[in-house]
Homo-oligomer: A and B are copies of this chain.
Amino acid sequence: MTSIDDVAAHLGVSTATVSRALRGLPGVAEETRARVNSTAKELGYVPSSSASGLASGRTMAMGVLVPVIDRWYFSAVLEGVDRQLRAAGYDLILFSLGGDGVNRDRVFHRSILRKRIDALLVMSMHLTEEERKAVQQLEYPNIVVGGAVEGVRHVGIDDAKAARDAVEHLIGLGHTRIAHMRGGGSFDIDFQVPRIRQQAFQQVMEDHGLPVREDWSAFGDFRFTTSRVSALALLADPANRPTAVFCSSDEMAFGVLKAAAELGIDVPGELSVIGIDDHEFSEPMGLTTIRQDPEDQGAYAAELLLGELLRNEPADYPPPRPHLLVERHSTGPARG
């Protein structure tokens, strides 16, 4: 492999000059810079990130920790993060916990702490006490995207307000018999989000003097499949069913929509359904929802970290990212 020395020798200049020229540092004659650039290209020179990392202390890589990759929210955030990093010349090192917690120890001890990255972005997940301490003690900038983690900076929407807006949309339509399709369960271990949305639901209902029925709190696990099965039970009895369902995520709303279709329940005539997310499928499904933009959240968080790396001073605590009610065809006025 051609090294910086080869380039220097080839031109009869010092390695320092080559290094400066290639990195665009000032104090290099334009003519020299041009010659260095063309020679480097000609020789097929590629700098070694190990060597420059070792010498400079900067790895030019950011770590991103996710609970799983192949879920709508996480992969969209990743997309936004990647975009920013790429533009800044940073590499993205992905650490997935892959659903189960088996990898956790390895991830935290082997890799993340392996001095391979300049900053860490953690995607909404529950961390153990030990892990949280590990993150807080990191000597490099870090931030959480999605659900908040105590004691760590955080980028995301105002989850309580988003849930509130969704439920109040339903109430504004005249609904009083409102069910909740909630996440949680196994995922409760990993996220704050389901809890926050559920509490917000109960609070709004209470604020409006509406009953929160135990048997109308259905468990959807944030998934289409689970939600559909739960909704099939929830909506089975025509005499005793809600007229609206607030879903903590769009994927769960799809499950409710599917169940309604199977049961021959007209949406929005007999049943209103609202979600949170604005998933890629929500528009063609005609789902009314609270839109959030995960890609924007990822980009914003990455940008913030990058800024800190550049200026070497902590950035302001970021305000919540915006959310927006998008009315489509799955919600309508309550009957009667």
> A-side interface residues toward B, CB under 8 Å?
1, 46-51, 53-54, 59, 61, 68-72, 75-76, 78-79, 82-83, 86-87, 89, 91-96, 98, 103, 106-107, 110-111, 113-116, 139, 224-225, 228, 254-255, 258, 261, 280-281, 283-285, 295
Q: Say which residue of B49, B50, B107, B258 sits within 8 Å of A86 (CB atoms).
A: B107
A158 to chain B, nearest CB (A): 23
Q: Which of A72, A94, A107, A113 has the most CB of B within 10 A?
A: A94
Contact, CB under 8 Å: A47 / B224: no
Given A48-B115, A54-B54, A89-B106, 17 other A-B residues pairs in contact with their CB atoms under 8 A: A48-B54, A48-B114, A49-B50, A49-B59, A49-B115, A50-B115, A69-B75, A69-B78, A69-B82, A70-B72, A79-B96, A79-B98, A89-B111, A91-B111, A91-B114, A225-B284, A254-B281
Contact, CB under 8 Å: B228 / A1: no
Please tell me how many copies of the chain the complex holds: 2
Specify the chain B residue showing the minimal Cβ separation from A72. B70
Please measure, in the bound complex, the distance between the C-alpha atom of A258 and the C-alpha atom of B72, giving whole angstroms. Answer: 20
Please measure, in the bound complex, the distance between the C-alpha atom of A87 and the C-alpha atom of B285, giving whole angstroms. Answer: 39
Once A69-B78, A114-B49 are accepted as A-B contacts, the answer to whether A280 and B224 lie under 8 Å apart by CB is: yes
When distances are taken between beta carbons in the complex, the residues of chain B under 8 Å from A295 are 70
Q: Say which residue of B48, B51, B98, B110 sits within 8 Å of A83 (CB atoms).
A: B98
When distances are taken between beta carbons in the complex, the residues of chain B under 8 Å from A254 are 281
Please measure, in the bound complex, the distance between the C-alpha atom of A285 and the C-alpha atom of B51, giving whole angstroms. Answer: 52
When distances are taken between beta carbons in the complex, the residues of chain B under 8 Å from A96 are 78-79, 82-83, 86, 92
Contact, CB under 8 Å: B82 / A94: yes
Q: Which of A72, A91, A285 has the most CB of B within 10 A?
A: A91
A46 to chain B, nearest CB (A): 5
Specify the chain B residue showing the minimal Cβ separation from A96. B82
When distances are taken between beta carbons in the complex, the residues of chain B under 8 Å from A82 are 69, 94, 96, 98
Specify the chain B residue showing the minimal Cβ separation from A98. B83
Contact, CB under 8 Å: B86 / A76: no
Contact, CB under 8 Å: A284 / B261: no
When distances are taken between beta carbons in the complex, the residues of chain B under 8 Å from A281 are 224, 254
Once A70-B75, A75-B75 are accepted as A-B contacts, the answer to whether A47 and B284 lie under 8 Å apart by CB is: no
Specify the chain B residue showing the minimal Cβ separation from A261. B261
Please measure, in the bound complex, the distance between the C-alpha atom of A110 and the C-alpha atom of B71, giving whole angstroms. Answer: 29
A32 to chain B, nearest CB (A): 21
When distances are taken between beta carbons in the complex, the residues of chain B under 8 Å from A224 are 280-281, 284
Once A59-B50, A82-B96, A111-B91 are accepted as A-B contacts, the answer to whether A228 and B284 lie under 8 Å apart by CB is: yes
- Ordered by A's residue number, 19 sampled pairs between the chains whose C-beta atoms are within 8 Å are A46-B113, A47-B114, A49-B50, A50-B51, A50-B53, A69-B78, A82-B96, A82-B98, A83-B98, A89-B106, A89-B111, A91-B93, A92-B93, A92-B95, A224-B280, A224-B281, A224-B284, A225-B283, A228-B284
